[in-house]
């Protein structure tokens, strides 16, 4: 499942579980659906730096509106605040600092399975999405942390029935070098086969970094499971002589339904960037995240412990001494609407 599809699923399907057709507005020429979510979080940790020992934040507040006019021109807009706290960041997230347009695009469907979108797009890369209420965990994963999220661009998608193809061109400012709005291009395929969902994308930030992203998800022995693999390669203009120019990041997700509203999601990740610095200069690292969750209709409460261990000392304790591990603890409550 792509990130854009995951946003739609996380917002729309979660909302459907809350109440059928909630927030739907129809008229002679307008069909509009409203949705979104709100979460609050307490978080603390060890080796998260000296700035904040713990935090209480609004981790997500997003209102999404989507609709179409006479079935001709469609639009989707997401406005709000998304903390985007991801492993293995060296500290705790800052408090809520403002609201903004997160994404928004116009779309037309000329026919024959073709869809065209233009605006601030949600990337098709990655298993996780920025609104945490649509993910199985409170903190976003380390693999997610090095993927694009939202960016201005145009995208063409062709639905062939058994699978979909897409191609896009964008101005993505999230590249390895941090340059403002480097040109980027992407192509990909997604679909389902033998009960499994799959997606593969090639994402090229021109003169910056290329990424191959692979996703596989489905059911295995009663578990909801998924794998997200990214291979990153620096382009020639940003390579450094004598240093590595590639990185590998893999995330494995498994969630067990325990019944009576309870579930137990687990995430395991492995990172390897050698001397390239692509993944924050960890050299190699692994993460373990466990998030027991209770859901009642559209509302949920969950706790989480996340552990990160890296070969390099990329973290600091409260005295500023470099460390190679970090542990965070969090509790989050939220609802979709």
Q: Which residues pair with 71 in a beta bridge?
A: none
What CATH number did the domain enclosing 151 receive?
2.40.160.10
3-state secondary structure of 18: helix
**Is position 29 within any domain?**
no
pTM for the full model?
Answer: 0.89
**Is position 26 within any domain?**
no
Closest CA to 110 of 157, 77, 169, 160: 157
**Is position 32 within any domain?**
no
Q: Which domain holds residue 221?
A: 3-21+39-336
Per-residue pLDDT of the chain (337 residues; tens, 9 = 90+): 455 544 444 433 333 333 333 455 555 466 789 999 999 999 999 999 877 678 999 999 999 999 988 767 999 999 999 999 999 888 888 766 678 999 999 999 988 899 999 999 999 999 999 999 999 999 999 999 999 999 999 999 999 989 999 999 999 877 777 666 689 999 999 999 999 999 999 999 999 999 999 999 999 998 999 999 999 999 999 999 999 999 999 999 999 999 999 999 999 999 999 999 999 999 999 999 999 999 999 999 999 999 999 999 999 998 889 999 999 999 999 999 9
> How many domains does one find in the chain?
1
User: The tokens 């233009």 sit on which residue?
Assistant: 118
**Is position 213 within any domain?**
yes
Q: Are 285 and 142 in contact (CB under 8 A)?
A: yes
The Cα–Cα gap between 211 and 194 comes to: 27
**Is position 166 within any domain?**
yes
């Amino acid at each position: 499942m792509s990130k854009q599809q995951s946003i739609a699923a996380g917002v729309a399907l979660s909302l459907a579980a809350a109440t059928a057709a909630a927030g739907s507005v129809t008229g002679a020429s307008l069909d509009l659906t409203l949705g979104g979510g709100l979460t609050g979080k307490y978080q603390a940790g060890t080796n998260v730096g000296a700035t904040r020992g713990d935090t209480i934040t609004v981790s997500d507040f997003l209102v999404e509106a989507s609709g179409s006019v006479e079935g001709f021109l469609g639009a989707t807009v997401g406005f709000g605040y998304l903390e985007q706290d991801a492993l293995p960041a060296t500290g705790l997230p800052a408090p809520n600092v403002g609201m903004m347009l997160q994404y928004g695009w116009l779309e037309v469907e000329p026919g024959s399975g073709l869809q065209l979108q233009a605006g601030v797009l949600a990337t098709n890369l990655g298993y996780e999405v920025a609104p945490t209420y649509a993910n199985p965990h409170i903190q976003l994963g380390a693999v997610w942390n090095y993927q694009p999220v939202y960016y201005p661009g145009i995208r063409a998608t062709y639905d062939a029935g058994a699978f979909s193809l897409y191609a896009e061109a964008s101005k993505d400012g999230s590249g390895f070098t941090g340059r403002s709005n480097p040109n980027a291009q992407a192509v990909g395929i997604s679909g389902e086969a033998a009960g499994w969902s799959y997606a593969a994308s090639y994402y090229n930030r021109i003169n910056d970094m290329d990424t191959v992203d692979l996703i596989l998800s489905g059911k295995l022995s009663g578990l909801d499971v998924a794998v997200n693999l990214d291979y990153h390669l620096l382009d020639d203009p940003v390579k450094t002589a004598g240093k590595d120019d590639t990185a590998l990041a893999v995330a494995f997700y498994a969630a067990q339904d325990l019944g009576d509203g309870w579930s137990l999601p687990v995430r395991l990740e492995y990172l390897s960037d050698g001397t390239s610095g692509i993944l924050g200069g960890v050299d190699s690292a692994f993460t373990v995240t466990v998030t027991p969750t209770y859901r009642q209709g559209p509302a949920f409460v969950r706790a989480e412990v996340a552990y990160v261990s890296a070969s390099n000392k990329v973290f600091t304790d409260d005295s500023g001494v470099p460390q190679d591990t970090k542990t965070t603890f969090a509790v989050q409550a939220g609802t979709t609407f």
